[in-house]
Structure 1
Amino acid sequence: MGRDGVVADDGRGAGDERRRSGAEPEARGPGARSGSRKARELFLEGEPVPELVVREPILNSWQRSRLWGVDTDRIETPYDPDLDPHSKLSAAAAPVLDRLAGTLADSPISLILTDAKSRIRQRRVGNRELSGHLDAISLAPGFSYAEEFVGTNGIGTAIEDGRTACVFGSEHFSERLQRVSCAAAPIRNPTSGRIIGLVDLTSWRATASPLMVALVQEAAADIEGRLLDLATLRERALLDAFVTGRRGPGRLLVAVADDCFMADATASELLGPADHRLLRERAAGLARGGAADLQLQDGRSVRARARPVQAPGIGGNAGYVVEIQVLPAHSPEAAGPPPPPPQVRLPGLAGRSAAWRSLVHRITAFAEAGRWTLVAGEQGVGKLALVRAVHRHQFPGRRLTVHDCARAGRSTASWLRAVARTLDTDGTETLVLRHFDLLPATAVAALDGLLRAAADRPGWVVALSAPRDRAAEGDARPARNFPSEVTVPPLRLRPDDVAPLVPLLLARHADGSDVQCSGPALRALTQANWPGNVRQLEGSLRYALAHRSGPWIEESDLPPSLLSHAQHPLTAWEQTERDMIVRALLDHGGDKSRAAKALGISRATMYRKITGYQISIGGAAGGPSAAD
């Protein structure tokens, strides 16, 4: 089996498999192109879209694009010129892109490399006319092609779906993109499985080829192979530095990199998963700025300092060795908020995990004291919803104003004037700077000056940021204006919060109906990994509401992807295969024999697939059951 839905010919034909996985729109012919164009018009008019006319990934992307309010006639996307040409991804991708660019030199096709946030890092195109058109639609280095900004497109849709995506001209949500077709494949960290970038091919709609899918998948696989080779060098250098590091009395040592964390037994007992993430995010800043005091997930305070680890031949740092000193609880240096009282509740939010209670206690204390706060967290964790709820709880009579830093590049001067007006309200207005990590370089210095000039302003000022990695730790970002910081833990690290969130989200979308989750459905939701965090949970419940047949949401109403817990990233075909097995099991009440017969496979194959995909549906969790 190949990568992301391209499979070897087993008698049925690889083309058949690609069509089943939704990876080959071009094979549908001109009639299908006309059909997708008409279907898009119906969708934009709020009319039902005929079944089988539009591929499911495209229709799902259209729905997301509409929810994000993407403009169908204009391209308005943030610009971030701060590119790191020496990043690990760039170093690994360079020879692969050079080779592919040479192969495509005489073709009207562009080769694009992006980071995990859909920001374009490199573009190679030899055709002058295509290059000019790509500039006109901002498909150029520094611009973001995330779905939330430009709608359905190969790059943003591949990031959202976590798998290869191809989008034919008329399938794009934006009218401006319909002259081109594109295919993009995720590049995953070979040790963690996390998406760290994309490789994309974009061509004129009329010259697009199904081979674009195979090319980007092959290129992504080659880049991942080079990343693995480079990772071996990094890990060896990091291990040497960790083993030879000096440990003083009362001091612990850990070694961190993007995809690696080393700790001795004592440090392992002290640090939880959220602390691992905190140290990864802060290591680069600690290495530049000296020691800093941090608060761990359990409330204890530590003093940390870091030094970079060099590895010959890889370019850049291999990682960081961090020395940690636990501060005594009675020390003034260790002063921090007391354990969070369980009765602290925020309007419109829910949670009961220790991590959630600690987060709520800390951020409400910062708001009450008027301490400017940086709120970090992955996409979909609900950073803005959290700040809005804290604002309503602490300042019910005040106004809250949100300024999106991602929009600052369109008219920098007017955007900065709007921020200045909010800062001039003398604390009567809470100011939120959204997408703080996407602030264009053209606005950094001016915003930094505004914030420093208003440092004595009473009231609450908040910046919302993605998890701060090395690229976002630089002095160019005015994060130093926010002395207090909290990180919203991802939902996968606080499964206890799923159960209280479910009724809250159901009530939001059930149109007044009294809908509840059955026990098996709630267990499936609690056990899911939730890479998309609360946003994905909300989307899954909306899916279930649309598919339910009564007042209860059952397991069979949930998206099939939630009913398996595979330990490796699934290719597009594997996801399709898994979904078929899940549906067959649900249709036959968990009876593996009947499900296998319906699918035309043996019981032994069914057991192997259930075990391999870690499918859990009632009694269907590998091996024979009473249903057999």
Structure 2
Amino acid sequence: MENRTAAIAPRLRASWQRSARYGVALDEVQPVFTGSLDTESLFYQCGNEVLDGLRTTLVNEPVSLMITDADGLVLSRLCDDGSINRSLDRVHLAPGFSYAERDAGTNGLGLALADRAPSLVRADEHYCTELRGYTCAAAPVLDPLTGELAGSVNLTTWSHSSSGLLLALAQAAAGNTAALMLSRAGGRRMRPAPRGEVFHVYADNRDEAGRCPSSLWQNALTDAREAMRAGRVIAVVGEPGAGKTALASIARHELGRERVLSARPPAPDDIDAWLALWTPELSKDHTCVVVGGADTLPAWAAEELAGVFADARRTGPQPFVLTAEDFARIPRALSSLVDAVVEVPALRFRPEDILPLARHLGSRDRGREIGFTPAAARALSSYHWPENVKQLKRIVREAVRRADVVDARHLPAEVFSGGGHRLSRLQALERDEIVRCLTEPGATVVRAAAKLGMGRATLYRKMAQYDIKVPR
């Protein structure tokens, strides 16, 4: 296999090497089968609709159109060509079977999911000889609201009839699927794409440890400090915005490092430049590197980064930390370097931390001490914070622009509603106006109903509809 891998592109070569480590058979494809398919998801419905439209334009072409979930499980296959359908059945490229790299070796959809990048695998570029009669083009689909990997769009044809347009069609179908998902998600704003940031440097700030007095935070901080003191590589996991990088930043003092370099993965096309620009910092004994979103790195980039990290460890105590939502999703090349996993609990489980953090964030934004009335404090403490500290930071910044002593009426309406379902623009405006009337000084339900021009029973019904709770 050495001679064969030497002749192919670096991404494909890395995929072949992973396939060999997974123990994938060279001569026979043996994908895992599951009878449970998620056909109710927004991704499935939108992806199937886009591919059904594409099928009408390719009606006389021997091209099979597929969507898979984020784990490589084939969810749907659309094709009007009987011969290619029968052939794909023989290699189990059909709904219910997994074509992830670890199950089927190097193939188009498996590579697109592993690297989170559009991929074209032709004929003998497939790891398994049984797949070399096909050319596969695939593109990943990211959830437009969360940025998470939703799945992939895959187009497969005969290797001898391969078209240069195949990958372009797959990318267009993936983009149309994401756009359709967004349009049907209640008009919410799309999550911004990676901006290609190189890194951000945090200055020394030792008093941050006391900002969160809860036992859950302090226990996680103690675990991180002990692991660093022992020279271990740490993965800090938790929900987005929970404070993973902040915890690593505080704990790194155990290494005697004065500053933190925080690097987050950019767009896939920028990975090479991203690595080249900040990895030299690993050799500096005053810097601790935190690589955020390690579970979103393409597999090939993770392997390259793992090699850089392995070299850095030979010079002394580990100078880097990984953060991720889910440790299980960190590429194996990086996760194998981790000695300890520290979980940062979500802010909703740490109500004791909310007010101290709010005061700190408000004072930092305004440059002076900021206060909160009891009503505002109760509202902040009882809210469930789905976006964690990131959301708290945004809400406090908005409130302290209006007053140095924040009252309930200075807080945005989202703090007083459950947010269990998506609202249209008109519904959001109505909810916001109800909250504004209910949080005015001296407000009662009767006064608010009169001001809104509705009956008290109607107002109670609206409060229940929007799950509005205004602490007294």
TM-score interval, smaller chain = 0.5 to 0.7
Task: Give the superposition deviation at 1:159.
Answer: 4.5
In the alignment, is the contact (CA less than 8 A) between 1:528 and 1:562 conserved in 2? yes
Correspondence for 1:500: 356
Correspondence for 1:383: 244
SS at match of 1:499: helix
| Distance in 2 (alpha carbons) for counterparts of 1:481 and 1:397 | 21
Correspondence for 1:584: 437
Correspondence for 1:421: 280
Which one-letter code corresponds to 2:301 in the other structure? A
Task: Give the superposition deviation at 1:101.
Answer: 4.8
Correspondence for 2:316: 458
Change (3 A) 1:542 1:94: closer
Correspondence for 1:468: 326
SS at match of 1:547: coil
State the aligned residue count.
325
* Structural mapping, 1:137-286, within 5 Å: 141-142=139-140, 155=144, 158-159=145-146, 199-201=178-180, 213=183, 216=184
| Distance in 2 (alpha carbons) for counterparts of 1:613 and 1:538 | 23
| Distance in 1 (alpha carbons) for counterparts of 2:50 and 2:274 | 41
Change (3 A) 1:365 1:346: farther
* Structural mapping, 1:70-149, within 5 Å: 92=41, 93-94=43-44, 97-99=47-49, 101-102=51-52, 141-142=139-140
In the alignment, is the contact (CA less than 8 A) between 1:349 and 1:504 conserved in 2? no
Alignment partner of 1:518 is 2:373 = yes
Match of 2:335 among 459, 466, 479: 479
Correspondence for 1:571: 423
| Distance in 2 (alpha carbons) for counterparts of 1:585 and 1:103 | 49
Task: Give the superposition deviation at 1:97.
Answer: 3.3
Change (3 A) 1:94 1:383: closer
| Distance in 1 (alpha carbons) for counterparts of 2:363 and 2:437 | 30
Task: Give the superposition deviation at 1:481.
Answer: 0.2
Correspondence for 2:157: none
Alignment partner of 1:356 is 2:211 = no
| Distance in 1 (alpha carbons) for counterparts of 2:45 and 2:372 | 51
In the alignment, is the contact (CA less than 8 A) between 2:385 and 2:392 conserved in 1? yes
In the alignment, is the contact (CA less than 8 A) between 1:371 and 1:461 conserved in 2? no
In the alignment, is the contact (CA less than 8 A) between 1:349 and 1:501 conserved in 2? no
> What's the CA shift string for 1:56-76, capped at 9, x where partnerless?
xxxxxxxxxxxxxxxxxxxxx
Correspondence for 2:413: 560
Change (3 A) 1:515 1:403: closer
In the alignment, is the contact (CA less than 8 A) between 1:561 and 1:575 conserved in 2? no
Alignment partner of 1:527 is 2:382 = yes
SS at match of 2:270: coil
Q: TM-score, normalised by structure 2?
A: 0.58
In the alignment, is the contact (CA less than 8 A) between 1:444 and 1:478 conserved in 2? yes
| Distance in 2 (alpha carbons) for counterparts of 1:400 and 1:104 | 48
Alignment partner of 1:370 is 2:231 = yes
SS at match of 2:469: coil
In the alignment, is the contact (CA less than 8 A) between 1:588 and 1:594 conserved in 2? no
Task: Give the superposition deviation at 1:372.
Answer: 1.1
Alignment partner of 1:545 is 2:388 = no
In the alignment, is the contact (CA less than 8 A) between 2:186 and 2:423 conserved in 1? no
| Distance in 2 (alpha carbons) for counterparts of 1:373 and 1:553 | 38
Change (3 A) 1:363 1:516: same
Match of 1:616 among 446, 469, 472: 469
SS at match of 2:468: coil
| Distance in 1 (alpha carbons) for counterparts of 2:246 and 2:139 | 31
SS at match of 2:208: coil
| Distance in 2 (alpha carbons) for counterparts of 1:421 and 1:347 | 27
Change (3 A) 1:496 1:394: same
In the alignment, is the contact (CA less than 8 A) between 1:408 and 1:416 conserved in 2? no
Q: TM-score, normalised by structure 1?
A: 0.45
Which one-letter code corresponds to 1:564 in the other structure? S
Correspondence for 2:101: none
SS at match of 1:458: coil
In the alignment, is the contact (CA less than 8 A) between 1:428 and 1:459 conserved in 2? no
Alignment partner of 1:438 is 2:296 = yes
| Distance in 2 (alpha carbons) for counterparts of 1:539 and 1:114 | 36
| Distance in 1 (alpha carbons) for counterparts of 2:47 and 2:142 | 20
SS at match of 2:180: strand
Which one-letter code corresponds to 2:294 in the other structure? F
Task: Give the superposition deviation at 1:535.
Answer: 1.1
Task: Give the superposition deviation at 1:473.
Answer: 5.2
> What's the CA shift string for 1:433-490, capped at 9, x where partnerless?
23212222232222223333444442333333332165x1553x42110111111111
| Distance in 1 (alpha carbons) for counterparts of 2:326 and 2:37 | 17
Correspondence for 2:266: 406
- Which range is displaced more, 486-495 or 362-371? 362-371
Task: Give the superposition deviation at 1:381.
Answer: 1.7
Change (3 A) 1:437 1:554: same
Task: Give the superposition deviation at 1:556.
Answer: 0.1
SS at match of 1:615: coil
RMSD across aligned positions (CA): 4.2
Which one-letter code corresponds to 2:208 in the other structure? P
In the alignment, is the contact (CA less than 8 A) between 1:590 and 1:617 conserved in 2? no
| Distance in 1 (alpha carbons) for counterparts of 2:348 and 2:283 | 40
Change (3 A) 1:479 1:386: same
Correspondence for 1:131: none
> Can you give the 5+ residue segments of structure 1 that lack an aligned partner in the other structure?
1-80, 108-112, 125-137, 146-154, 161-183, 186-197, 203-211, 221-344, 620-628
Which one-letter code corresponds to 1:507 in the other structure? S
Change (3 A) 1:503 1:422: same
Alignment partner of 1:536 is 2:391 = yes
In the alignment, is the contact (CA less than 8 A) between 2:234 and 2:342 conserved in 1? yes
| Distance in 2 (alpha carbons) for counterparts of 1:417 and 1:531 | 35
